[in-house]
């Protein structure tokens, strides 16, 4: 094939001879260039025309994901705080059960309560993250309020328990009976009417004498009237006396607990035989010990 080039400026022609193979190669090269250009143009045009929309959409999705993640993290923190409060309430409930004398099986604070009943459905309202967060905050406030009230109740119960431990609440003798009650009687030595300011327990010599309540030993020595006597100060102007003992086992200033052995029964001082003379005094005045013991038993 011959290709003739004509030039207007030079006024001459030029002939170029090309074979068939060369012509096919040139055509293929031109087709390849056209295809490559079209592909490049198709890649450039969408990105140039839609870059603003795609970028805005991606940024909005990222913000939404960050908000969801932040809400979930906040709820997880609130849930952890509520779980900690529930654990404290469980422990507090267990302590209150012990203070009130309840049996452990009556209140199982570490287990969910048994539930049941017929199924009654209700319309389900859509819960938004904001609404769920408000409900959790309200529940947290309710738990804190219940915790404060239960702590106040525990304090009151503990004070009552401490007061009970410091009041004459148990008999100073485990077994025995009253041979002489509190009040007016005929004195065994003078035969005259006289005030008996305590109660007498008729028991054998050597029987353990127990502290009726906790306190501090204020007197532990021999007395001309009471014989070997122990006097315990329980605070609040209340003292107890244990007289006619054969042997004392505590010293002045010693702290004793309720039910602790402090002496042994004997017949010292103004006594006609082995027994324990037990007194309770409030602000120096003798009180009937039986009233304290009955009140403690009730």
Residue 93 shares a structural domain with residue 201: no
> What pLDDT does residue 172 have?
95
The reply to whether 53 falls in a domain is no
CATH number of the domain within which 257 lies:
2.70.70.10
Residue 291 shares a structural domain with residue 186: yes
pLDDT higher than 90, residue 221: yes
> Cβ contacts of residue 293 below 8 Å, gap of 6+?
168, 169, 170, 171, 212
The reply to whether 58 falls in a domain is no
The reply to whether 122 falls in a domain is no
pLDDT higher than 70, residue 209: yes
CA 223 to chain centre: 52
How far is residue 21's CA from residue 5's CA, in Å, rounded to a whole number?
A: 20
* Alpha-carbon distances of 292 from 169, 171, 203, 212, rounded to whole Å: 6, 10, 21, 10
* Alpha-carbon distances of 62 from 47, 56, 65, 68, rounded to whole Å: 20, 10, 5, 10
* pLDDT tens string 22-80: 555 655 666 666 656 666 655 555 554 454 555 667 887 787 778 777 777 777 777 77
Residue 271 shares a structural domain with residue 184: yes
The reply to whether 51 falls in a domain is no
Structural domain total, the chain: 3
Residue 160 shares a structural domain with residue 185: no
Average pLDDT taken over every residue of the chain? 77
Q: pTM for this structure?
A: 0.51
Residue 78 shares a structural domain with residue 150: yes
The reply to whether 238 falls in a domain is yes
Residue 27 shares a structural domain with residue 75: no
Residue 275 shares a structural domain with residue 195: yes
The half-sphere exposure of 5 on its side-chain side, counting CA atoms within 13 A, is 7
> What pLDDT does residue 297 have?
44
> Do 226 and 243 touch, CB atoms closer than 8 A?
yes
Query: Bigger pLDDT: 27 or 239?
Result: 239
pLDDT higher than 80, residue 207: yes
* pLDDT tens string 3-24: 554 555 555 555 555 555 555 5
In the numeric block, which tokens belong to residue 151?
């702590």
How far is residue 211's CA from residue 111's CA, in Å, rounded to a whole number?
A: 41
How far is residue 184's CA from residue 178's CA, in Å, rounded to a whole number?
A: 15
The reply to whether 232 falls in a domain is yes
Could you list the residue range(s) of the whole structural domain that residue 91 is in? 65-107+130-165
* pLDDT tens string 259-295: 999 999 999 999 999 999 999 998 899 999 988 876 5
Residue 75 shares a structural domain with residue 144: yes
The reply to whether 197 falls in a domain is yes
The reply to whether 214 falls in a domain is yes
Burial class (CB in 10 A: 0-12, 13-18, 19+), 36: exposed
pLDDT higher than 90, residue 159: no
Residue 205 shares a structural domain with residue 185: yes
């Amino acid at each position: 094939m011959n290709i003739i080039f004509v030039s207007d400026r030079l006024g001459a022609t030029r002939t170029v001879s090309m074979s068939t193979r060369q012509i096919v190669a040139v055509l293929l090269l031109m087709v390849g260039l056209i295809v490559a250009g079209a592909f490049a143009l198709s890649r450039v045009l969408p990105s140039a025309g839609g870059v603003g929309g795609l970028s805005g959409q991606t940024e909005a999705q990222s913000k939404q994901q960050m908000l969801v993640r932040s809400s979930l993290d906040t709820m997880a923190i609130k849930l952890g705080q509520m779980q900690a409060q529930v654990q404290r309430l469980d422990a507090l409930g267990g302590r209150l059960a012990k203070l009130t004398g309840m049996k452990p099986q009556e209140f199982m604070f570490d287990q969910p309560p048994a539930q049941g009943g017929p199924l009654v459905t209700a319309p389900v309202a859509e819960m938004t993250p904001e609404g769920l967060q408000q409900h959790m905050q309200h529940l947290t406030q309710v738990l804190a309020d219940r915790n404060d009230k239960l702590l106040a109740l525990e304090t009151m119960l503990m004070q009552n328990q401490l007061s009970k431990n410091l009041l004459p609440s148990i008999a100073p003798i485990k077994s025995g009976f009253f041979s002489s009650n509190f009040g007016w009687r005929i004195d065994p030595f003078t035969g005259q009417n006289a005030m008996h300011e305590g109660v007498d327990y008729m028991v054998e010599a050597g029987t353990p004498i127990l502290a009726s309540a906790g306190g501090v030993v204020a007197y532990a020595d021999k007395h001309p009237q009471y014989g070997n006597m122990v006097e315990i100060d329980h605070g609040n102007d209340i003292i107890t006396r244990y007289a006619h003992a054969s042997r004392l086992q505590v010293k002045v200033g010693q702290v004793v607990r309720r039910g602790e052995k402090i002496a042994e029964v004997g017949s010292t001082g103004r006594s006609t035989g082995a027994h324990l003379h037990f007194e309770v005094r409030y602000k120096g005045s003798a009180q009937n010990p039986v009233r304290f013991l009955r009140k403690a038993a009730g």
